Amino acid sequence: MQKEKNYDYLIVGAGLAGITIAERLASQLNKSILIIDRRKHIGGNCYDYYDKAGILVHKYGTHLFHTKYKPVFDYLSNFTKWHKYEHQVKAYVDDQIYDMPINLNTINKFFKENFNTKECKKFLEGKRVKIKNPSNAEEQVLSLVGRELYNKFFKNYTKKQWEINPRDLDPSVTARIPLRFNEDARYFEDKYQFMPKSGFTEMFKKMLNNKNIDIKLNTSFKEIKDKVSYDKLLYSGCIDEFFNYKYEPLAYRSLKFRFKTFNKNFYRDYCVINYPNEHKYTRILELKHATGQKIDKTTIVYEYPSAKGEPYYPIPRKENQVLYERYAKLAKNLKNTYFIGRLGGYKYLNMDQVVLETLKVFKKIKNNIQ
User: Considering only CA atoms, which of 202, 200, 203, 162 is closest in space to residue 287?
Assistant: 200
Confidence grade of residue 1 (pLDDT, cut at 50, 70, 90):
very low
Cis peptide before 276 (omega within 30 of 0): no
Which of 175, 197, 225 is the last residue before a domain boundary? 175
131 inside domain: yes
Q: What SS3 class is residue 90? A: strand
Looking at the fold, whether 216 and 349 belong to one and the same domain comes out as yes
Q: Based on the domain organization, do 215 and 334 belong to the same domain?
A: yes
Q: What is the pLDDT of residues 115-154, one digit of tens each?
A: 999 999 999 999 999 998 999 999 999 999 999 999 999 9
Per-residue DSSP letters for 114-125?
---HHHHHHHHH
pTM value is 0.93
Domain for residue 1, yes or no? no
What are the tens digits of pLDDT across the range 28-70?
999 999 999 999 999 999 999 999 999 999 999 999 999 999 9
Calculate the dihedral angle through the C-alpha atoms of 216, 220, 24, 334, rounding to the nearest 10 degrees.
-150
Q: In this structure, what are the phi and psi dihedrals at residue 283, rounded to the nearest 5 degrees?
A: -160, 160
**Residue 242: what are its φ and ψ, rounded to 5°?**
-55, -40
Is residue 294 included in any domain, yes or no?
no
Q: Which domain holds residue 332?
A: 6-42+208-249+315-369
Please state the domain count of the chain.
Answer: 2
Q: What is the pLDDT of residue 206?
A: 98
The reply to whether 277 falls in a domain is no
Asked if 89 and 187 touch (Cβ cutoff 8 Å), the reply is yes
Q: Domain holding 240: CATH number? A: 3.40.50.720
**Residue 179: per-residue pLDDT:** 93
